[in-house]
Amino acid sequence: GKIFDGSKKLWEVFAKNPESIKDLFAKEYNAALKPGGDYIYYSFIKLTTQKTEAPKTSFIYGIPDWQWLVGAGVYLDDIETGIAAMQAGLQKRLRTDIQTTVLLATAIIAIFLLLFHLFSRRLLNDFAIFATFFTRAAQSDQEIDRRKIRFKEFYRMAGDANRMLSDKNIAQHKLRESEEKYRTFFENSTDAMLITRGNYFVDCNAAAVEMLGYASKKEFLDRHPGKLSPETQPDGQKSRDKALKMMAIARTKGSHRFEWNHVRKNGEIFPVEVSLTAIPTGDEILLHTVWRDITDRRRAAEEQLKLKKLESVGLLAGGIAHDFNNLLTGLFGNLEMAGMFLPADHKARKFLDAAGQSMENATNLTKQLLTFAKGGDPIKKTLSIGEVIAETARFSLRGGNARLQTSIAPDLWLVEADKGQLSQVISNLVINAQQAMPTGGTITITAGNIKTAASRRIQITVRDEGVGIAPEHLSTVFDPYFSTKQQGSGLGLASAYSIISKHGGTITVDSKLNQGTTFTIRLPAADKAAETIPEKPVAEINPKSVAAARILVLDDEEVVREILGDMLEELGHQVDHAAHGREAVEKYRQAWENNSPFDLVITDLTIPGGMGGEETAREILAIDPRAKIIVSSGYATDPVMAHYEEYGFQGRVAKPYRFAELREVIRKAGG
Question: φ, ψ for residue 439 (rounded to 5)?
Answer: -95, 5
pLDDT band at 284 (very low <50, low <70, confident <90, very high): confident
Average pLDDT over the chain, rounded to an integer: 79
Given a cut of 70, whether residue 252 has pLDDT beyond it is: yes
What pLDDT score does 535 carry? 45
pLDDT for 222: 85
**Torsions phi, psi for 527 (to 5 deg):** -105, -5
For CA atoms 216, 217, 220, 224, the dihedral sign is negative
Q: In what order do the strands lie in the sheet with 441-451?
A: 402-408, 441-451, 456-463, 516-524, 506-512
How large is the average pLDDT for residues 83-108?
71
pLDDT digits (tens, 9 = 90+) for 37-82: 888 888 777 766 666 777 888 888 888 888 888 888 887 777 777 7
Q: What is residue 620's predicted lDDT score, i.e. its pLDDT?
A: 93
Q: What is the pLDDT of residue 617?
A: 93
Q: Residue 611 gets which letter from DSSP?
A: -
311 or 238: which leads in pLDDT: 238
pLDDT-derived band of residue 236, with 50, 70 and 90 as boundaries? confident
Residue ranges in 397-536 assigned as alpha helix (H): 419-435, 492-502
pLDDT grade for 573, boundaries at 50, 70 and 90 = very high
- 273 phi/psi in degrees, rounded to 5: -100, 125
pLDDT of residue 641: 80
pLDDT at position 139: 60
Residue spans of alpha helices (H) in 552-658: 558-570, 581-593, 613-623, 639-642
Is the confidence at residue 173, as pLDDT, over 80?
Answer: no
Measured CA to CA, the distance from residue 390 to residue 381 in angstroms comes to 19
Give the pLDDT of residue 592.
93
pTM beyond 0.85: the answer is no
Of the pLDDT bands very low, low, confident and very high (cuts 50, 70, 90), residue 442 is: very high
Percentage of the chain beyond pLDDT 90 is 17
Lowest-confidence pick of 98-112, 140-154, 577-591:
140-154
Least confident of 212-221, 364-373, 609-618: 364-373
| 489 vs 521: which has the higher pLDDT | 521
- Give the residue-averaged pLDDT of 15-42: 81
3-state secondary structure 208-272: HHHHHCCCCHHHHHHCCHHHHCCCECCCCCEHHHHHHHHHHHHHHHCEEEEEEEEECCCCCEEEE
Q: Is the pLDDT of residue 523 over 90?
A: yes
Question: What is the percentage of the chain residues whose pLDDT exceeds 70?
Answer: 75
> What is residue 517's predicted lDDT score, i.e. its pLDDT?
93
Highest mean pLDDT among 147-156, 314-323, 365-374, 512-521: 512-521
Q: How many angstroms separate the Cα of 476 from the Cα of each of 484, 490, 509?
A: 11, 11, 11
Query: What is the C-alpha separation between 243 and 134, in angstroms, rounded?
Result: 49
Q: Given this model, what pLDDT does residue 586 score?
A: 95
User: 195-232: per-residue pLDDT in tens?
Assistant: 888 878 888 888 888 888 898 888 888 888 888 888 89
For residues 457 and 352, the model is more confident at: 457
pLDDT for 2 equals 39
Beta bridge partners of 281: 284
At 411, is the pLDDT very low, low, confident or very high (cuts 50, 70, 90)? very high
Q: Is the pLDDT of residue 629 over 80?
A: yes
490 or 193, which is more confident: 193
Cβ neighbours of 563 (radius 10 Å):
23
* Closest listed residue to residue 69, CA positions, set 29, 39, 35: 29
Q: Decide if 45 contacts 51 (C-beta within 8 A).
A: yes
- Convert the pLDDT of each residue in 548-563 to its tens digit: 889 999 998 888 888 8
pLDDT tops 50 at residue 184: yes
